[in-house]
Structures are given as C-alpha cells and as structure tokens.
Chains A and B, each alone.
Chain A
C-alpha cells in the first residue's frame, strides 16, 4: 500500500513539474531561436571562397533528464508499441537547446554562419536498460561572411 502511494505521489510530481518544466523550456527555446535566427546553420562541408578568412569550431551540448511521468508513460506505451511521444518531446528540447548554445558561442566570436553542423546523441543513465536522460551535442565551424 505504501509503495502504491509513493508511486502515485512520484507520478503526480512528475506530471506537474515535468509539464511545467517542458512548457517553460519550449517558450524559452522559441524566444531564443527568433533572437538567433540571423546565424545561418548549414551542413555543407565546404565554404564559399568569398568568405572572410578565419574559422573556428563551435559546439553546444545539453543533458536533459526524463521525468517520472514520462518513464511510466513510455513503459506503458512499449507494451502496445508505436510512437513514444513523451520521449519525442524530450529529444526535441535537447536538440533545439544544443543548437541554440552552439549559436550563442558563434555569436560571441562575431560569426554569422555555421558550416558542417553535426549532431551527436547519447543516452545517459546508470543502468543500461533505463534511460535517465539524453545528451545532445551540436558542433560545427563558425565563419564570418563578408557582409
């Protein structure tokens, strides 16, 4: 009985705080993305000749944890299979955050474009079968245009 109550409390805390965290994170992502929209990110490996000399590697990484509600929702969904929407939003948050951090680094050095942008993903957790969080790393080469 005690275990069941603890489970219910954790689930509720996860649901409330997880939702709040996610909503505020998404609105911040939206705001920062519009702020940094002038920095172009492309996955081309070669740069046009007319670019100003000088290039520097920039990167941004983030580790986002799953909440208790997401863990339970995902493990229930795994019984019937299909899209795990609770983990999809987690990955989206991590990806967008990593790109924003990379862009901040590029802006700090006065760059206006990032070439050859790559994303690396890894799952983080103490046990191999339980995901505690995801890490997203975005990296690329920041360059200055002539404008």
Chain B
C-alpha cells in the first residue's frame, strides 16, 4: 500500500481517478503534571517549551494515524494510491490538554 500525504491541489506524476470522501481524525492528549510545573517555571526565563512542542506534534501524528486506519479499509479493497489533502490543523485548547483536529 502506497499512501501519499500532501496538501497540494495536484500531485506530480499522479492523476486523481476517484473521490472517496472526507476523512477525519482527532485526539486529546496531555503531558504529566511535572511538565506543566516545569512549563510554569520556564515562563520566568523564556525559551522553548520542549514538552509542549512534543505534545502537539504527537497529537497531530496520532490524529493523522486515526485517518490512516480508516483508509486502510479502503486500501484493502482498492490497492491503489491514495492522495490525502490535509485541510487544517487548528489545535483547540482545554487547559493543558491539546487536541489536534486535522
């Protein structure tokens, strides 16, 4: 199974033959309380909050993999190349938990 993830209108070397419909995936994740306390301390000196960078990118990867599981079903039936157009990634904020909704 060869799956390409892109946000282009067209894909070089490929032609879209069928529209299968919209897929979605979402997730809610949080870091442990230690990270939240460390982030509070980091607010004094500034700099990168590595824990939250990681948290948000993990959340996006996870939400994306939820799509892939849904797509795998189609892939079994079609054995073709899928082109997915990622729409947007707005993270919603619930205190110190983050959701990624691609």
Contacts and interface: CB of A to CB of B under 8 A. Distances in A.
Interface residues of A, number: 48
Contacts of B45: 13-14, 17-18, 21, 67-68
B73 to A, nearest CB: 21
A68 to B, nearest CB: 5
A85 interface: no
A139 B86 contact: yes
A118 B43 CA distance: 28
A61 B47 CA distance: 14
Nearest to B47: A21
A75 to B, nearest CB: 14
A73 to B, nearest CB: 12
A143 B4 CA distance: 12
Q: Which of A14, A25, A62 has the most CB of B within 10 A?
A: A62
Interface residues of B, number: 36
B95 A126 contact: yes
A66 B46 contact: yes
B13 A115 contact: no
Contact of A21 (B10, B46, B57, B89): B46
B85 to A, nearest CB: 10
B46 A17 contact: yes
A65 B8 contact: no
B46 A63 contact: no
Contacts of A10: 44
Interface of A: 10, 13-14, 17-18, 21-22, 25, 45-47, 49, 51-57, 59, 61-68, 70-71, 97, 115-116, 118, 120, 122-126, 132-133, 135, 137, 139-141, 143
14 contacts: A46-B10, A47-B8, A55-B12, A56-B4, A57-B5, A57-B6, A57-B7, A61-B56, A65-B46, A65-B47, A115-B8, A124-B49, A125-B93, A132-B49
